[in-house]
Amino acid sequence: MVSRSLTLKLVSAIIVFGAWEIAGRIPVSYAFPTFIDSMKALSAMILDGRLFAAYGETLKPLVIGVLISAVLGIIIGLWIGLSEWFDWLFSPIFIVMQAAPLAALIPLLVMIYGIGLTSKVFVVCIMAMPVIVLNTAGAVRNTPSSFIEMGKSFLASRREVLAKIIIPAASPVIFSGLRLGVSAGFIGAILSELKITPTGVGDIITFSRSIADYASMYAAIFSIIVLAVVFLNLLEMLERVLFEGNVRGYASD
C-alpha cells in the first residue's frame, strides 16, 4: 500500500511539473516562468541563504499557531463531540470562524495586537483551529454506539471508553482534520506576512513581484507547498504509528 501511494504521488508530481514547464514555455503569460527557471531561482535562494533566513521568520508563527491549534482543537473537539451542552455552546463559534473572511479580520487583529508575532499566530489559529475542532467533534459524535456499549458491557470506565474506543475509532477523521488544519495554517502564515508585515517568505514573494522577478516569486511559493507536503506526510506517518490497526488500503484492493 505504501509503495502504491508513493508511486501515485510521484506520478501526480511529474504531471503537475510537466504541465507547469509546458505552460511556461508556451507561454501562458510573461509573468509565468517555467518550472526549470523557478527551480534555478530556488537553488540560488538556497545557496545564498535567503530562503533559510526567510523561513526562520515564517516558521515562528506557523509552528506556534499549528501546535496551539492542534492541541486545543483536539481537546475542544472532543468536548464538543462528547457533550451536547458544550456542542450547543461552542460549535457556532467555530462554524462562524471557518466561514468568516479572514482578510477582513486581519486589520482588526493588527489594531488589537499590533504587527508582531501575536497577530500572525492568531491568523494561523483562526485558519487552522476551526477545521480541527469541527472534524474532531464530528468524528467523536459518529463513533458507532455499538463500540461504546461493548466497552460498557466489559465494565470499562468513561476514561477507558474515551481512550481505548472513541479516540481510536475517530482517529482517521481526526487526522484528516489535522492535515486540513495544517494546510490552512500554512495559508494563514503566508497570508499574515502578506497582509500584516512583509517578513519571511511573504517578504520574498512581495519583493520578487515588485521587481518582476517572477521566477523567485514562484520558487518561494513552491517551497511553501513542498514544506506543507512534508508536514502532511509526517502526520500520515504519525497516524500509522499511533493507530496502525486503523490504516486501511484502497477501496479497489
66 and 177 assigned to the same domain: yes
Distance CA 105, CA 127 (A): 11
Chain-centre distance of CA 42, in angstroms? 22
- Quick one: what percent of the chain has pLDDT higher than 90? 7
Q: What is the CB neighbour count within 10 angstroms for residue 197?
A: 17
152 and 105 assigned to the same domain: yes
Q: Is residue 212 in a domain?
A: yes
Q: Is residue 133 in a domain?
A: yes
169 and 183 assigned to the same domain: yes
pLDDT surpasses 70 at 253: no
Q: What is the CB neighbour count within 10 angstroms for residue 223?
A: 20
92 and 2 assigned to the same domain: no
Number of structural domains the chain divides into = 2
Report residue 47 as a C-alpha cell: 545557496
CA distances for 69 relative to 138, 151, 220, angstroms: 17, 30, 25
Q: Is residue 52 in a domain?
A: yes
- Of 53, 57, 17, 59, give the one whose Cα is nearest residue 38: 17
Q: Is residue 149 in a domain?
A: yes
12 and 75 assigned to the same domain: no
pLDDT surpasses 70 at 88: yes
CATH of the domain at 220: 1.10.3720.10
27 and 41 assigned to the same domain: no
- Which pLDDT does position 248 carry in this prediction? 54
**pLDDT category, 1, cuts 50, 70, 90?**
very low
> Could you tell me the residue range of the domain that residue 196 belongs to?
33-245
